[in-house]
Amino acid sequence: MPELPEVEVTRQSFADRITGARVLVLRMGKALRWPLGCEPQSLVGRQVLGVRRRGKYLLLDLDQGLLLLHLGMSGSLRFEQTPGPAGKHDHMDLHTSQGTLRLHDPRRFGAVVFAPTQESPQAWKLLGRLGVEPLGDDFQAKDFWKALKKRKTVIKQVLLGGELVVGVGNIYASEALFMAGIRPTTRAQHISLARATRLHEAIRAVLARAVQIGGSTLKDFSNAQGESGYFQLEAAVYGREGLACRACATAIKAMRQGQRSTFFCPVCQKP
């Protein structure tokens, strides 16, 4: 599943090229997770003012309204001057005066939703409960710790929930917890200020590094220019069950939490 770094890398790979473009045609294929919310032809002639990211959503700001795009479980975007014919799993083509933005989504858990404004019900339903951005100035260590003190759930699930801090998905939660030396099964409310501060720093460091090297390509992720990511090659614990910990040489362990795989070092990460 594309996580925050993959979505941000995707944004960076086409935002400059589509900004300023006029919409010529919007072609929608098979139904996605949610309906578009408007007639496709109503967007013809509108100008793309820019591309932002909120959590795992991409926001294409138009001169009237905005499009919210989500990559779902297996989606990816391409931006090309002259794309070939749409394939079986190509479910959106946004043809513009500067190129075509295409959504490829084999499992169709992604979404393309129009909203008149970011405060409208269509957008609020998707964005309204998201936590703070982990790479933004609003993500402060002490506030993070205070919020953790109110949560009885284990820390890995709190991170995945996205209500305190958004976009820390499965790969990066495992990596940040390793960097902070915290066992994934530790109750959030039991984490001290010092450990919460280390986790805060680890979240920012891990996500920033992932963005820097193009995100993670575990199966078929690539950005809007078709380029793969390389963070998985640097992972300390994720996907390394049975291999030696890079810090202490103990075998990395794996377990299931909330139907997701969790990887950790039983020595370096304390309960």
pLDDT digits (tens, 9 = 90+) for 156-203: 999 999 999 998 999 999 999 999 999 999 999 999 999 999 999 999
Judge contact between 63 and 20, C-beta under 8 A.
no
What pLDDT shows up at residue 231? 84
What pLDDT shows up at residue 225? 76
Find the catalytic residue in 11, 53, 56, 102. 56
Find the catalytic residue in 3, 6, 8, 175. 3
Q: Is 260 in the active site?
A: yes
If you count DSSP H runs as helices and E runs as strands, how many of each does the chain have, helices first? Answer: 6, 10
**Rounded average pLDDT over 51-57:** 97
Q: What is the Cα 116 distance to its own chain's centre?
A: 23
Number of Cβ within 10 Å of residue 88's Cβ equals 9
Q: Which two tokens stand for residue 160?
A: 């995945």
pLDDT tens for 9-44 read: 999 999 999 999 999 999 999 999 999 999 999 999
Question: What is the identity of the amino acid at 220?
Answer: D
Q: What Cα–Cα distance (Å) separates residue 231 from each residue in 170, 195, 226, 243, 265?
A: 13, 25, 16, 17, 19
Residues 1-37 as b/e (b if ≥16 CB within 10 A, e otherwise) read bbbbbbbbbbbbbbbebbeebebeebeebeebbeebb
Q: What is the pTM of this model?
A: 0.91
What pLDDT shows up at residue 112? 98
Find the catalytic residue in 52, 204, 260, 266. 260
Q: Is 85 in the active site?
A: no
Q: Is 52 in the active site?
A: no
Find the catalytic residue in 2, 5, 134, 184. 2
Burial class (CB in 10 A: 0-12, 13-18, 19+), 89: middle
